[in-house]
A and B are shown apart, each in its own frame.
Chain A
Amino acid sequence: MTVIEQDRPHGFAMKASATKGSGEHGLGWLAVSPALLLLVGLLFGPVAAVVLFSLTDWQLGSTVFHFIGTANFKALFSDPTFWKALSNTLIYAAIVVPGTVLLGLVVALLIEASPGLRGFYRAAHFLPVMSTMSAMAIVWGTMLHPTIGLVNRALGVMGISGVNWLRDERTALLALAVIGIWQGFGFAMVLFVSGLKAVPQQLYDAAAVDGADGILDRLRFVTLPMLGPVTMFVVILTAKRSFEVFDSVRVLTQGGPNYASEVLLHRLYTESFDFLHMGYGAALTVVYLAIIVLLTLTQARLLDRRVHYS
């Protein structure tokens, strides 16, 4: 409040000092109003609209709709495709989050340990993050092609006959998860590299004198604990990103075969824009949002206590 008081126009200051309590209160609201307007306009407003739509039978393009209560939600929860999409999304996240964190961490450690070419390695590993997923998905599509794809040819050289990765119920989701890791670990790597730079050298020195000077001991007693806050951030971010996986699914599998790679966001898109069931899609969105919020809150609560050591 002190900063604001300094900037206050003269006349306003007179008025505010006359009714100090309420004046300052009003000023506070005035100061936060731009942010508040944006929040309402861009966040709370749309969310409220989505919640409203989820209670209607509105179809895209239609001019009329009726409130139908929780019918959309009832339909949603009794739809096996929804449960399949939800469990696929969870499996996808369960592979992508640890995969991204581990790969990002290992690559960051390797890059920081190597004396030369750090800049090049960092840039090279960061490239997938910068690229457009839908374009890259096409590249992956050709690589994973059952007959002419690079992956199966390489396997063939080693005498292993590959499968049709994206058309096989057992491997479609796994292939998408690998692509997800490939796309995301560069970002995790960059965050870990910056985290590594912030680890004080004296801690490594202390560990060396204390006898914890092996690679594993250094990792366990210094590097990993000091990377705690970064790791928490990476985990939350990657979890959020894997819950919103869409591009690769849309381009490569369209959720198939037989819903084996159907995920929440793709389901939402298909229902809303392919089948034009906006009400149903909105109900799905509400569930999706609830899951995301819940996820972030739990993670933040659980992890925050364990990574900030005070």
Chain B
Amino acid sequence: MAEIELRHIEKSYGETAIVKGVSLSIRDGEFLTLVGPSGCGKSTLLRIIAGLEAQDSGEVVVAGRCVNDKRPKERDVAMVFQSYALYPHLSVFDNLALPLRTRRLSFAQRLPFVGRALPGRGGIEMMIRAEIEQAAAMLDIAHLLHRKPGQLSGGQRQRVALGRAMVRQPAVFLMDEPLSNLDAKLRVQMRAEITALHRRLGVTFVYVTHDQAEAMTMSDRVAVMTSGELLQIAKPEQLYRDPEDLRVAEMIGSPKINVVSCAHWTSLGASLPRGVHGNTAYLAFRPEAVGIAAPGDGRLSGVVASVENLGSDIFLNVALGEGHGTVVVRTHPDGSRSEPGRPVGLQIDPACLLQFDSAGMRLRHAEQIEAAA
């Protein structure tokens, strides 16, 4: 049970700043995901929490205790790695037992051959065995305990890695892209299993991923990072509906949010919607906030460039005109079909229109400010 507090964490390698003064507090028992493009510093931040990397400045506080000068094993954290990092020469059982043995057995008791004869070891080993069997049953790997990691499939290795993190009952689980080595189907399955594990254990999870779908589906809150900075931290649905930053809006959601600059908007002959601020530079809207209408009437309009039918939804890519990009429109399969080449007008729900200034910061309508307050 632990909350984590990061205060002004900075880290650079030589000249390159990787983490630029990130402050973040993670609640006890929360599932928090750090999401961002590769190289944004999310993994480094996780390694700083784990103690595998030392920050240049700033504080890491776990359960009210500053752990800056604590070694990884003293921080009461467990970590799951992208490559699983199982010990290839040890059986699954011994892999799971290692973190328990290093904690509970003395150095002498851990010696090969000699250690076994020492008093006290037998009892501890029996307890360890019982705990491992319990964890293995929970993860459905009980039948694999005698095997070596090399004989397991990717998904099974992933479970063993989870088990190794779980057995010592840490206060914090750290996960560094744990699903990115799995195939798509298994990834979706493991996503659900990890969330279920989080619910069952009730401890703090910090999860790093570049996959916004993982971030959206698994987390209590998501922290979005870009080039070493924390852009926004919020619940998944809030990040989607109410992003603070244009980069957040673009990173979350698939297909990507449509962004049209005000200059393009007017140069295409469309009138700006009501309630647009004077210093709004970009207007953004989700594919589902757009409807197809007849062209003209001051609407943004373009030509259907391509149609993607996903079964449940149909996405239309509408080209706005030379050099003005495309807009993705989500339509229902039961609605009227559009063929490529057909000119269409875009009907945008004004309540779902997001405004950003030239620096990419969010500007709000009066009613949105009311709603947020």
Q: Mark A181-216, 1 if CB is under 8 A from B, else 0.
A: 000000000000000000010110110111111000
A-B contact count (CB 8 A): 68
A203 (CB) vs chain B CBs: closest residue: B85
Q: State whether the Cβ of A225 lies closer than 8 Å to any Cβ in chain B.
A: yes
> Contact between A209 and B102 (Cβ–Cβ < 8 Å)?
no
Known: A225-B88, A226-B88, A309-B150. A209 touches B79 (CB 8 A): yes
How distant is the Cα of A83 from the Cα of B85 in the complex, in angstroms? 50
Q: Does B157 contact A (CB under 8 A)?
A: no
Chain B residues with CB under 8 Å of A228's CB are: 89
0/1 string, B148-169, CB within 8 A of A gives 1: 1111000000000000100000
Residue numbers in A under 8 Å from B218 (CB-CB): none
B52 at the interface (CB under 8 A from A): yes
Q: Does A44 contact B (CB under 8 A)?
A: no
- Complex interface residues of chain B between 49 and 63 (CB less than 8 A to chain A): 50-52
Bound Cα distance from A212 to B82, whole angstroms: 20
Decide yes or no whether B145 CB sits under 8 A from chain A.
no
How far apart are the CA atoms of A247 and B241 in the complex, in Å?
A: 81
Given A203-B87, A205-B52, A309-B88, do A210 and B151 touch, yes or no (CB 8 Å)?
no
* Chain A contacts for B86, CB-based, 8 A: 206
In the complex, B251 has a CB within 8 A of chain A? no
Q: Are A200 and B85 in contact (CB under 8 A)?
A: yes
Q: Which of A202, A206, A211, A217 has the most CB of B within 10 A?
A: A206
Nearest-neighbour CB distance to chain A for B47, whole angstroms, equals 8
The answer to whether A222 has its CB under 8 Å from any CB of chain B is: yes
Decide yes or no whether A12 CB sits under 8 A from chain B: no
* Minimal beta-carbon separation of B369 from chain A (angstroms): 45
Asked whether A212 lies within 8 Å of B83 as measured between CB atoms, the reply is: no
Q: How far, in whole Å, are A203 and B164 apart by their CA atoms in the complex?
A: 13
Interface bits B71-106 vs A (CB < 8 Å: 1, else 0): 111000111011101111110000000110011000
Q: Check B73 against A309 for contact (C-beta < 8 Å).
A: no
Indicate whether A67 reaches chain B with its CB closer than 8 angstroms.
no
Contact B71 A213 (CB under 8 A): yes
- Chain A residue nearest in CB terms to B53: A205
Instruction: Please tell me if the beta carbons of A209 and B50 are within 8 angstroms of each other in the complex.
Output: yes
Q: Across the interface, do B98 and A210 meet the contact criterion of CB distance under 8 Å?
A: yes
| A273 within 8 A of partner (CB) | no
Chain A binding site: helix, strand, loop or mixed by DSSP? helix
Residues of A within 8 A of B164 (CB): 206, 210
Residues in B whose Cβ lies below 8 Å from that of A213: 71-73
Q: CA A206 – CA B99 in complex, angstroms?
A: 10
Taking the closest CB of chain B, its distance from the CB of A218, in whole angstroms, is 11
Instruction: Answer whether residue A310 sits at the interface, using C-beta atoms and an 8 A cutoff.
Output: yes
Residues of A within 8 A of B81 (CB): 202, 205-206
In Å, the complex CA distance between A156 and B139 comes to 68
Q: Provide the bound-state CA to CA distance between A206 and B52, in Å.
A: 9
Interface flag for A65 (CB, 8 Å): no
- Which residues of B lie under 8 Å from residue A309 when comparing CB positions? 88-89, 148-150
For the complex, what is the distance from the CA of A264 to the CA of B88, rounded to whole Å?
40
CA distance A136 to B130 in the complex (A): 61
Please state if A208 and B71 are interface contacts (CB–CB under 8 Å). Answer: yes
Q: Which of A212, A222, A228 has the most CB of B within 10 A?
A: A212
CA distance A310 to B147 in the complex (A): 9
- Set of chain B residues within 8 Å of A211, measured between Cβ atoms: 73, 99, 102-103
**B88–A210 contact, CB under 8 A?**
no
Residues 95-118 of A at the B interface (beta carbon under 8 Å): none
Asked if A221 lies at the interface with its beta carbon under 8 angstroms from chain B, I say yes
A209 touches B72 (CB 8 A): yes
CA distance A211 to B168 in the complex (A): 11
B102, A210: Cβ atoms under 8 Å? yes
From A202, A217, A225, A310, give the contact of B85 (CB < 8 A).
Answer: A202
Whether A221 and B83, one on each chain, are in contact in the complex, defined by CB atoms closer than 8 angstroms, is: no
A202 to B52, CA, bound (A): 10
> Which residues of A are at the interface with B, using a C-beta cutoff of 8 A?
200, 202-203, 205-206, 208-213, 217, 221-222, 225-226, 228, 309-310
6 A–B contacts from the bound complex (CB under 8 Å)? A206-B85, A209-B73, A210-B164, A211-B73, A222-B87, A225-B88
**Nearest 9 pairs of A and B residues by beta carbon:** A310-B150, A211-B102, A225-B89, A206-B85, A211-B73, A210-B99, A202-B85, A309-B88, A208-B72
Sample of 19 further A-B pairs with CB below 8 A, known A208-B71, A208-B73: A200-B85, A202-B83, A205-B72, A206-B81, A206-B86, A206-B164, A208-B72, A209-B77, A209-B99, A210-B73, A210-B102, A211-B73, A211-B99, A212-B98, A213-B72, A213-B73, A221-B98, A226-B88, A309-B89
